[in-house]
Structure 1
Amino acid sequence: MSNHTLPGTGRKLTLIVLGLAALITTMLCAFTLPSLHSGPHSVPLGVTGPEQFTKALREGIDGDAWDVRLYPTPAALQAAVKDQDIAGGLAVTADHVVVYTATAGGPSAAGALAALGDGVAAQHTTRASLHDLAPFTEDDPRGAGMTAALLPMIFGGIFPALVLGSAFPGHRGLRTRITGAILFSLVAGAAIAAVLQFATHSIDGNYWLTALGLILGTAALSTTILGLQAVLGMAGFALGGALMMLLGNPLSGLATGPHWLPAGWAALGQLLPPGASGSLLRANAFFDGSGAGRPALVLLLWVGTGIALALFADRRGGRPAAVHSEAAAP
């Protein structure tokens, strides 16, 4: 008996060790590689002014760092910033450079844009003025509260799967777990929005719109983890938690803005629930919902995926009971 048991134990131990090593390696890559290569990466930048100035400016700006787009008037450029089509812009005249930023859309990009504007003004021996079209609130000028909200949102996806899974285990409790996760998302999203807007004064905007976005973000996190747990058991729970915490957290770009990460990492981060939740929060809290469509769609897809996995597990788990009932009926 021991001869058969030990090889099986060895294989299981090997798989666990290799899996944990792969997990640590992935975590290391997700946290360190984007940080090592952080900086402006094709940041969308608007430029307006006389052709001789804009042409020279476009040729002189680093193409890898900035994606320069021309606008006919300063008003059009400002509208593009407020709609989150661009991160900021420069309005250049013969004796003045006006720098338009949106700090709440990406603090790091806004700082780099301000420095770029000073450099352009120095080249033209003129002056630069800065206009922040989407600043953080006066009570939280660095956006610390909004950045700190990401971890509670991630844990808000992990804890329901853990607690509800213990309180309502097995196939019979599956639908109760999904219902509980959705109810929890409603309460938690509204509570997080209330704390950020009324307690810490970290965000502005329509409270209900912001709360709706946070509810959707929390639901995407919790239903995805519950769905994976329903299909794969504890392995699914571990996979979901690692996906949200070890990849989604460092790649969310909530603290810096997504354009501060390398292109591939930034794109991946915005397709994961933490990154999409952060972008939706930013759009609703500081841009009146402009730019909210894409992250909202990403989160809806994650919610649908989580519920679909749960329904699949529910159908698969109910099938043996139905077959048994039919066999016992005669």
Structure 2
Amino acid sequence: MPDSPSPAAATGAGRKLTAAVLGLTALVTVMLCAFALPGVNGGPRHIPVGVSGPQQVAQALQKKLDGDAWDVTVHASADALKEAVRNRDVSGGLVVTSGGIDVYTVTAGGPMAANALTAMANAVAAQQQTQATVHDLVPFPEDDPRGAGFSAAALPMIFGGIFPAVALSRLFPGHGGLRTRLAGVLLYSLVAGAAVAAFLQYGTGSLSGDYWLTTLGLALGMAALTTTFIGLEAVMGMAGIGLGAAVVMLLGNPFSGLATGPHWLPSGWAAFGQLLPPGASGSLLRANAFFDGAGAGAPALVLTAWVALGVTLVLVADHRRPVQAPSQTAGVARESVA
């Protein structure tokens, strides 16, 4: 008969099993919190909107609407308001006319904010016993009117940063492969950015901007993720990629605001999400694909900083001299004596 495990071994196995179960339960709970809390606590948070019309009416609207949900500014005319919307200075607006209220929205800038603005305008119009007419200045393309393809791009872009870092680290391991891995990241980002932009713009019809501008933005986003992962791997080993992937998946993805727009998240969460590569990549893609680059400066700067961080980590690892094993050191000494 096979020997039964000793009491000490059984106790050790029980402790390991308990630790594993508790650890996995904690991981699932953290993931649930990260993905559920932004949705539960979502809502309009200081969405910038404009109002225009007769001076007294516009100022009264500003005083009435300005608060936690809306940041309201008064514009001199309807044309000035529409120009501010297209330049992304505001996310929409209301123009009071003799015939009712004209509502200007930008669905491609954030469908949840556009819906909330429309609902708010209908409520104002009902109070004034008039009608609200909605004008969508920047809609999603006709082939994808709900922006499903755009919203679905978040996870592929994240995995598009993790998988290449793992593959390049396996194909070109060790200190000698550092520069090759870095060169591979930059080349991959350009090729993958062009491929993703082509698929979303010509395959699904989800984007409508300049193809090459969108390609450069996607390439910068992928380079920010992959370069950072390569740098973490160079300094910390595969544990660095695991750490980076956990942060990006548990925080970067749910706080990116890609599907809803960042103004739909609580203020602190939205600001933090825009400082991580997924949030900045989504904002840059939105700016290039629908607004001709308006508002692209801040996310592009954030992504450039992440690329610089990754390259810096690679250079730090590259300047470290590989530590020789004791047997190698003894062999070199014997050869010197001989």
Which AA in structure 1 matches 2:313? Answer: L
Equivalent residue of 1:173, what SS?
Answer: helix
Which residue type is aligned with residue 200 of structure 2? Answer: L
TM-score by length of 1: 0.90
Contact persistence 1:31–1:250 (CA under 8 A): yes
Residues 140 and 146 of structure 2 are in contact (CA less than 8 Å); yes or no, is this contact kept in structure 1? yes
* SS of residue in 1 equivalent to 2:31: helix
- The secondary structure found in structure 1 opposite 2:103 is strand
How far apart are residue 18 of structure 1 and its match? 8.3
- What is the aligned counterpart of 1:279 among 280, 283, 295? 283
Instruction: Give CA-to-partner distance per residue, 1:172-192, whole Å, 9 cap, x none.
Output: 112111111111111110000
Q: CA deviation at 1:233?
A: 1.2
Residues 12 and 213 of structure 1: is their aligned pair in 2 closer, same or farther, counting only changes over 3 Å?
Answer: farther
- 1:118 paired to 2:102: no
Say if 2:78 is the partner of 1:55.
no
Work out the CA distance in 2 between the residues paired with 1:15 and 1:157.
31
CA contact (8 A) 1:146 1:196 kept: yes
Q: Structure 2-normalised TM-score?
A: 0.88
Residue 191 of structure 2 corresponds to 187
Whether the aligned pair in 2 keeps the contact of 1:228 and 1:236 (CA below 8 Å) is: yes
Q: 1:86 to 1:163 in 2, by over 3 A?
A: same
The reply to whether residue 199 of structure 1 matches residue 203 of structure 2 is yes
Q: Are 1:27 and 1:247, in contact at CA under 8 Å, matched by a contact in 2?
A: no
RMSD of Structure 2 on Structure 1 (CA): 2.7
Structure 1 residue corresponding to 2:244, chosen from 231, 240, 243: 240
Residue in 2 that maps onto 1:5: none
Contact 2:66 2:72 in 1 (8 A): no
CA distance in structure 2 between the aligned counterparts of 1:309 and 1:224, rounded to whole angstroms: 8
**Unmatched 5+ residue regions in structure 2?**
1-12
> Which residue does the alignment assign to 2:136?
132
* Distance apart, 1:247 and its partner CA: 1.0
What is the DSSP-based 3-state SS (H/G/I as helix, E as strand, rest coil) of the residue aligned with 1:31? Answer: helix
Post-superposition Cα deviations, 1:187-222, rounded to whole Å, max 9, x if no partner, equal 110000000111111111110000000000010010
| TM superposition shift of 1:14 | 10
Change beyond 3 A, Cα 1:29–1:291: same
- 1:263 deviates by 0.5
* Distance in 1 separating the partners of 2:198 and 2:303: 21
* Alignment-derived partner of residue 107 in structure 1: 111
Structure 2 residue aligned with 1:29: 33
Q: Which amino acid aligns with 1:263?
A: S
CA contact (8 A) 1:48 1:70 kept: yes
Is the CA contact 1:89–1:99 (under 8 Å) kept in the aligned structure 2?
yes
What secondary structure is seen at the aligned counterpart in 1 of 2:102?
strand
Q: Which residue of 1 aligns with 2:9?
A: none
CA distance in 2, matches of 1:162, 1:198: 29
Pairing of 1:3-82 with structure 2 (within 5 A): 23-61=27-65, 63-82=67-86
Q: How far apart in 1 are the matches of 2:139 and 2:200?
A: 15
Amino acid in the other structure paired with 1:112: A
> What are the equivalent positions in structure 2 for 1:169-318 lying under 5 Å apart?
169-316=173-320, 318=321
One-letter code of the match for 1:206?
D
Report if the CA contact (8 A) 2:185-2:223 is conserved. yes
SS at 1:250 equivalent: coil
Aligned length: 325
Question: CA separation of 1:189/1:246 partners in 2, compared to 1, >3 Å: closer, same or farther?
Answer: same
Residue 19 of structure 1: CA displacement?
Answer: 7.2
Distance of 1:10 and 1:277 partners within structure 2:
45
CA distance in 2, matches of 1:138, 1:29: 35
| 8 Å Cα contact 1:53/1:93 also seen in 2 | no
Q: Cα distance, 1:55 vs. partner?
A: 2.4
Q: How far is the alpha carbon of 1:56 from its aligned partner?
A: 2.2
